[in-house]
Chains A and B, each alone.
With several copies, the nearest count.
Chain A
């Protein structure tokens, strides 16, 4: 057994997809850990922005929500939400946005709105929040989700946040400014999108995960890269920062 958890693999994998100096729209949970890990390792100049308007936050504890008070104390700046969405996101200043959802489909479209019919839902979910605009306007999007069959249908019940829609150049045809999803990081592996069809392709399996597991938990016949790599394990340094600095023993998760 490896001496690290699946969440730690997801966090380090996401962290490695960030480049120094990038401006990142952060959520809580794994994205928050990934961005803070990257900032403390390879990307000291990463700029963290929360859709709540906190810029360059330096949280002294893990934020419990994107509007947490710790994101303001000691931040570089605060701006109103209309400014966040217009002057930052729509202006094209956000390099990376993190998204997740109840469902993601083969073209990276995300659903956080309803399961079933919109007007007679089986389950009513929270809705878009800032997800729709992050998907539409961020230069690239990283999707972080657990890999379950019900979460990976061939087609989402509702497109809250546009991925590549029907694939190909559908985004460009609709004039979506953002680049769309760059990768999907699950608890089983990493998936990217084929440059032409924009369909999801399994790129690597996390240590211990199998292709069968992934296919069983995916609602369509999944394309697989060859060779299918194994996701790089977290380094000792990454694990140290993660365990000692970001999630201090007894610290909130």
Chain B
């Protein structure tokens, strides 16, 4: 049964004020179009969860969507700091921002525990790190078989997961390649799942390569077809990261005024991602790479 929706519909229907929202994608597949729609819809008091807040949460924090941040590395990858997040954490500007901090492993493991529906998972990580001192969610656990002392993190089940992918069918059967990050764990951890894709394909195409399917349709509440929906991040095989923008963001976000001006022009100032794309113009097409196709494999019997 078709789960196709517009971005407006999907965000208003499946993301509520006060929700815990995981918007994942490690450098790859960051759902910027969804974030911009949530900013336009003035969603408030969200607990935003990502390993790497990246520009997407820098923008949402600056726009006032967030009450709390759960993260493990808050920087502009390969460029510098996240100025809006830093202003919120250091000077409570524009508003105080609660936060909860892990390492990548720790936060990924919280998603995995929720996906598996166990209340915790054990790890050999964390010993000696001050993270355990400042984060009471990292607790010791004793192995009932060997008596070893390990550390553990609790499950984290977001109210909603927003995940970008290369393609899906109308039912939401979603295929991803390239870096997969924690996409699968988040999709199974969350109560509701919204998938945004570069293209909707026939179920026949999905069925021709079942090992490529990362999220089964019955786990998905809505599928949004939004080409270039991950810009300025990238989608393997579709377009590369707009690194110039990541570098430019350092300037834009350095003071609240220029950041506000950016939001006015590129988020509030456009109706949707299509208008955003028209405004970005040819620069988008220049991000398209040369095709590098894999060889088909045989699923016959």
Q: Do A and B come from one complex?
A: yes
Among B52, B180, B216, point to the contact of A56 (Cβ < 8 A). Answer: B216
Residue of B nearest to A71 (CB): B179
- B179: which A residues are within 8 A, CB to CB? 52-54, 67, 71-72, 78
Q: Is B74 an interface residue (CB 8 A)?
A: yes
Contacting pair B104 A56 (CB below 8 A): no
Q: A82-B182, A91-B117, A136-B125 are in contact. Are A128 and B206 (CB under 8 A)?
A: no
Among A21, A54, A66, A175, point to the contact of B77 (Cβ < 8 A). Answer: A66
- A54: which B residues are within 8 A, CB to CB? 179, 210
Q: Whole-angstrom distance from the CB of A54 to the nearest CB of chain B?
A: 7
Contacting pair A85 B105 (CB below 8 A): yes
Residue of A nearest to B213 (CB): A77
- A78: which B residues are within 8 A, CB to CB? 177-180, 210-211, 213
- A247: which B residues are within 8 A, CB to CB? none
Contacting pair A129 B103 (CB below 8 A): yes
Contacting pair A90 B116 (CB below 8 A): yes
- A68: which B residues are within 8 A, CB to CB? 27, 241
Among B74, B131, B213, point to the contact of A132 (Cβ < 8 A). Answer: B131
| Cα–Cα, bound, A133→B108 (Å) | 12
| Cα–Cα, bound, A58→B210 (Å) | 12
- B77: which A residues are within 8 A, CB to CB? 64-67
- B89: which A residues are within 8 A, CB to CB? 121, 124
Contacting pair A80 B129 (CB below 8 A): no
Residue of A nearest to B29 (CB): A67
Among B105, B130, B148, point to the contact of A160 (Cβ < 8 A). Answer: B130
Q: Is A41 an interface residue (CB 8 A)?
A: no
Among A71, A85, A162, point to the contact of B108 (Cβ < 8 A). Answer: A85
| Cα–Cα, bound, A230→B225 (Å) | 51
Contacting pair A65 B27 (CB below 8 A): yes
Q: Is B73 an interface residue (CB 8 A)?
A: yes
208-233 of chain B: CB within 8 A of chain A = 208, 210-211, 213, 216-219
| Cα–Cα, bound, A162→B224 (Å) | 42
Contacting pair A64 B243 (CB below 8 A): yes
- A177: which B residues are within 8 A, CB to CB? 117, 124
Q: Whole-angstrom distance from the CB of B108 to the nearest CB of chain A?
A: 5
Contacting pair B129 A160 (CB below 8 A): yes
Contacting pair B210 A174 (CB below 8 A): no
Q: Is A7 an interface residue (CB 8 A)?
A: no
Among A75, A80, A176, point to the contact of B207 (Cβ < 8 A). Answer: A75
Q: Is B101 an interface residue (CB 8 A)?
A: yes
Binary flags per residue of A193-204, CB closer than 8 Å to B gives 1, else 0: 000000000000
- B292: which A residues are within 8 A, CB to CB? 73-74
| Cα–Cα, bound, A5→B46 (Å) | 48
Q: Whole-angstrom distance from the CB of A176 to the nearest CB of chain B?
A: 5
Contacting pair B131 A128 (CB below 8 A): yes
Residue of B nearest to A124 (CB): B89
Residue of A nearest to B148 (CB): A175
Contacting pair B103 A67 (CB below 8 A): no
Contacting pair A82 B109 (CB below 8 A): yes
Contacting pair B1 A45 (CB below 8 A): yes
- B182: which A residues are within 8 A, CB to CB? 80-82
Contacting pair A176 B127 (CB below 8 A): yes
Q: Is B115 an interface residue (CB 8 A)?
A: yes
Q: Is A159 an interface residue (CB 8 A)?
A: yes
Q: A126-B74, A128-B131 are in contact. Are A80 and B180 (CB under 8 A)?
A: yes
A residues sitting closer than 8 Å to B (CB atoms) are: 21, 23, 28, 45, 47, 51-56, 58, 64-83, 85-87, 89-93, 113, 118, 121, 123-133, 135-137, 158-162, 165, 170-171, 174-177
Q: List 9 interface pairs A-B (beta carbons < 8 Å), by A numbering.
A: A52-B26, A56-B173, A68-B27, A74-B207, A76-B216, A86-B115, A90-B123, A136-B125, A174-B127
